[in-house]
Amino acid sequence: MPVFRFSKVKLPLQNANNLLKTKQTMSRLQRLPKLVYTNFSTCYRHWNYIIFIVLLISFSCENKQDKLPAGDLDNGGLIIPGGFEALVVIDSAGPTRHITVNDNGDIYAKLRFSRDKKGGTIGMRDLNGDGKADSVVRFGDYESVGGSAVGVTIHNGYLYTSTVTQVLRNKLSPGELVPSSKTEVILTDTHPNVARNWHTTKPAAFDGKGNMYIPFGSPSDAGQDIEIYGPTGTPEGKGLDPSPEREMNAGVWKFDANKEGQFQSDGIKYATGLRSIVGMTWSPLDDQLYGVVNGIDNFHTLYPKLYSSWQAAVLPSEKLVKITEGADFGWPYAYYDHLQEKNVLSPGYGGDGKIIGRAADFDNPVVGFPGHWAPMDLHFYQGNQFPERDKKGVFVAFHGSTDRSPYPQAGFIVCFVPLDNGIAGDWEVFADGFAGVDTVENTGDAKYRPMGLAEGPDGSLYISDSNKGKIWRVMYKGNKKEFGEKQLDEMNQLTTNKTYIKTPVEGVDNLDKGSLLEGGILYNTYCATCHQRNGQGDNNRFPPLAQSERVVGDPEILVESILNGIQGEITVRGKTFNGYMPPHANILDDLAVASITTYIRSRWGNKASAITPSEVTKIRAKVVK
């Protein structure tokens, strides 16, 4: 192949031809003087014009900010640092989870679930260069069961997608938005608890050496006997010791990224002690695997003598972890406390919030975030559009909490964690404004919930929302050399006092202040963590109680649900839910159940009769085993 020679630099003629064919280069050429443009094909074929070619390459690689589309006047409702702009790519794609962006700018989003045979993945393309999605297509010849499947990423020309039970891939061909290739089944999860385990998310990460890493979440909350008591545990909250879940769950397994038909037994257990990983990726900073981990719940409900409602709202920490081979992060025996900055013994294994014991033997996270913020995705920025400091850290998207009541729900932001040789600095709020309100009393009050992160070929950062499927594109148009403390201080002033960001003040920020009837107090203690204080549920796993046929109908249905809990799918107001409700028969007496039932049946537009303790007694004798 002929090559251009200039000093010691060699440019293959084929690469020069490819350069001329790219959309970006052609758009640049159209701005050159007409004489040069019309005679370019003649010029570049002569060796004498190598200088012209070098200048052209330099011209096409200059600052690309002038090619970025205009941001929305209000930045799509986002609060972002100075110099950044944002636009809404699509306003309502449907309840999306993770997203990924192809080299040509096509966006792919994984839907929460798909049962209508229209496909569980969405492909989006900008046809006119304004940054908005003009072509939107649903596809995917699979059925996505449940609401936690998140995985979608592009690796080595393949689109990898995940359901609750499988990891799939399709070869992407140039020009295609929807892949026409055969769907390959790379991994199938046959665990007996997979159908009722909402921690079964399978984001795929790749190390560049032909290996794929997949987390297998824990079916239980804190290592209790799920076969007898369900995911949230025994009345005493005691965990099994040793925990059988650590054998085939609560860890990360390594697989062959290119081999079809694999099962968990084909993989190698890479790390353990990780309850629920929803976001995982390989870091270009230190060539290591990183993930974000959701911590356990129900501290005050299960251990009211050990943990106050305030402690249960802020603990245990959510974690950013570096996952090295053989690492053990301690679940369910230990949890991380970011307030004390150390691992402590879990209460289900003899801990009281202070005892360390065997917790000292486990690996520490890179960062401990506030409890229940629900980190969903992470991204190591590699582009050249953002300030250089953004290439020395990681972005994390927080979905927002559901179980911090009676304190405000929290999270609902995208943050940036600076990293220096694997050591984290103080995390910073990068994008705010998703919640739409200052105090999120109920999770459903939040207008949008950040979910997925992805980087475009030009270095733009994309953020997805799981409520409506809104997707933002964040761009930097300021002076990269001037970005620094001034912009960070301005962001801090705008966000630091938000109730969903700051650490709540014990007692002062308690939303239960004032006089409430016993039923309301008990509801907010035991029920609002899932069904929310407004009775509307979380629009995901937990159904609404407001105007629910299960609430205002036969009272035995509601009483039995409180006593025995619910496991499996139920339909409320025409929508299917598959969350888990723990039994309260051994926690609440008949008067307490009657008070809660009466409260629920008389709130949020419900107009059903009250229930007496004697009626609960009769129902308990009939339904509790």
Give tens-digit pLDDT for 268-325. 999 999 999 999 999 999 999 999 999 998 888 888 889 988 999 999 999 999 999 9
The whole-number pLDDT of residue 220 equals 83
* C-alpha dihedral, 313 to 317 to 308 to 523, nearest 10°: 40
- The token duo for 226 is 């799920």
The whole-number pLDDT of residue 116 equals 62
The whole-number pLDDT of residue 611 equals 84
Give tens-digit pLDDT for 410-458. 999 999 999 998 899 999 999 999 999 999 988 999 999 999 999 999 9
Using the predicted structure, report yes or no on whether residue 73 has a pLDDT greater than 60: yes
* CA distance readout (Å), 380 to 191, 257, 285: 32, 21, 8
The whole-number pLDDT of residue 15 equals 37
Count of CB atoms situated within 10 Å of the CB of 510 = 17
Please list, in sequence order, all residues whose beta carbon lies within 8 angstroms of the beta carbon of residue 536, skipping any fewer than 6 positions away. Answer: 442, 444, 544, 545, 546, 604
H helix and E strand count, the chain: 16, 34
The whole-number pLDDT of residue 462 equals 98
Q: How many residues comprise the chain?
A: 625
For residues 198 and 207, is the Cβ–Cβ distance under 8 A?
Answer: no
For residues 561 and 581, is the Cβ–Cβ distance under 8 A?
Answer: yes
The whole-number pLDDT of residue 226 equals 60
Kindly indicate the confidence band of residue 115, based on its pLDDT and cuts at 50, 70 and 90: low
What is the spatial distance between Cα 28 and Cα 56, in angstroms, rounded to a whole number? 9
Give tens-digit pLDDT for 154-197. 999 999 999 888 999 999 999 999 999 999 999 999 887 665 55
pTM, two decimal places = 0.77
For residues 205 and 281, is the Cβ–Cβ distance under 8 A?
Answer: yes
What is the spatial distance between Cα 232 and Cα 244, in angstroms, rounded to a whole number? 15
Using the predicted structure, report yes or no on whether residue 60 has a pLDDT greater than 60: no
Using the predicted structure, report yes or no on whether residue 28 has a pLDDT greater than 80: no
Using the predicted structure, report yes or no on whether residue 553 has a pLDDT greater than 70: yes
Least confident of 210-219, 253-262, 275-284, 530-539: 530-539
Count of CB atoms situated within 10 Å of the CB of 445 = 20
Give tens-digit pLDDT for 367-395. 999 999 999 999 999 999 999 999 999 99
The whole-number pLDDT of residue 114 equals 65
